[in-house]
């Protein structure tokens, strides 16, 4: 019957870019420019500076600084010039993970340890430092003291670095150019004044005096003819 031992293994795995390296945040800036082609709801169709047409769906509540006034997407007008400056900052953050693993020593060669885990898979650990200690039945042991068949419980503490992105977007623009004023209509040319109408006889005049004058002339002619016959 093989001896069953309980081993407490403390391993620290440091994910560093070089020994003692310090992680610095990185910042990138991107500028997008374009002209509004169409707006429907919260969707924005823009003709980019390179001539391509792109559609954007900004988050609800997004506004653009248009000529000093905060304008929501739904109120942008076709022809509005837009500019968005996107600044992305990646900040490093150290993440510490603790795991508890149980298994059985399959083989140990120098500083290399092969362990069969509870799920039956085989895990190989290499280059285990001499100063890593294993507690076996209350006694400290190095990796070189481990034997095949020993049952172990491993407390694995791993430290890694992940980057958290922080994005800041400055949205600006200028309104479309005003429409040109309509051309002034020419002043109408005045029509020439009509010619004055000929003077008309008063409505009270009649043909009776003309008839009397005609009779008088005939009477004078008749008298003249009578005098001629007498001579």
User: Cα(101)–Cα(129) distance, rounded to whole angstroms?
Assistant: 19
Q: Would you write out the chain's pLDDT as a tens digit for each of its 231 residues?
A: 334 444 444 443 333 333 334 557 788 888 889 999 999 988 989 999 999 999 988 888 889 899 889 999 889 999 999 988 888 888 888 877 666 677 888 998 988 888 888 888 998 888 888 777 776 666 777 788 888 888 877 666 667 787 788 888 888 888 887 767 666 666 666 666 666 655 554 555 555 555 666 666 666 666 666 655 555
Query: What pLDDT was estimated at residue 93?
Result: 80
Q: For the segment 197-212, what is each residue's pLDDT rounded down to a tens digit?
A: 555 545 555 555 556 6
Residues 6+ apart with CB under 8 A from 190: none
H-only helix segments in 163-230: 208-230
Write out the H or E segment, with its range, that includes residue 119.
Answer: none
Cα–Cα nearest to 144, from 103, 117, 112 = 112
Burial of 91 (0-12, 13-18, 19+ CB in 10 A): middle
Determine contact, residues 107/148, Cβ cutoff 8 Å. yes
N- to C-terminal Cα separation, the chain: 201
């Amino acid at each position: 019957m093989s001896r069953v031992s309980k081993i407490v293994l403390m391993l620290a795995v440091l994910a560093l870019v070089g020994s003692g390296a310090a992680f610095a945040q990185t910042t990138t800036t991107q500028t997008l420019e374009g002209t509004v082609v169409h707006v429907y709801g919260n969707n924005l169709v823009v003709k980019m500076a390179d001539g391509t047409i792109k559609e954007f769906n900004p988050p609800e509540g997004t506004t653009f600084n248009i000529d000093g006034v905060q304008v929501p997407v739904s109120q942008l007008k076709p022809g509005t010039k837009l500019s968005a400056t996107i600044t992305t900052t990646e900040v490093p953050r150290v993440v510490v993970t603790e795991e508890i693993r149980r298994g059985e020593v399959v083989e140990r060669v120098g500083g290399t340890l092969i362990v069969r885990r509870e799920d039956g898979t085989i895990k190989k650990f290499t280059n285990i430092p001499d100063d890593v200690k294993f507690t076996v039945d209350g006694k400290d042991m190095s990796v070189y003291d481990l034997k095949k068949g020993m049952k172990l419980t491993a407390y694995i503490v791993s430290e890694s670095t992940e980057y958290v992105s922080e994005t800041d977007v400055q949205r600006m623009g200028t309104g479309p150019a005003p429409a040109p004023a309509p051309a002034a209509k020419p002043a109408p040319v005045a029509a020439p004044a009509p010619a004055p109408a000929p003077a008309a006889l008063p409505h009270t005049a009649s043909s009776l005096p003309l008839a009397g004058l005609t009779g008088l002339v005939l009477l004078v002619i008749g008298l003249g003819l009578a005098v001629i016959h007498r001579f």
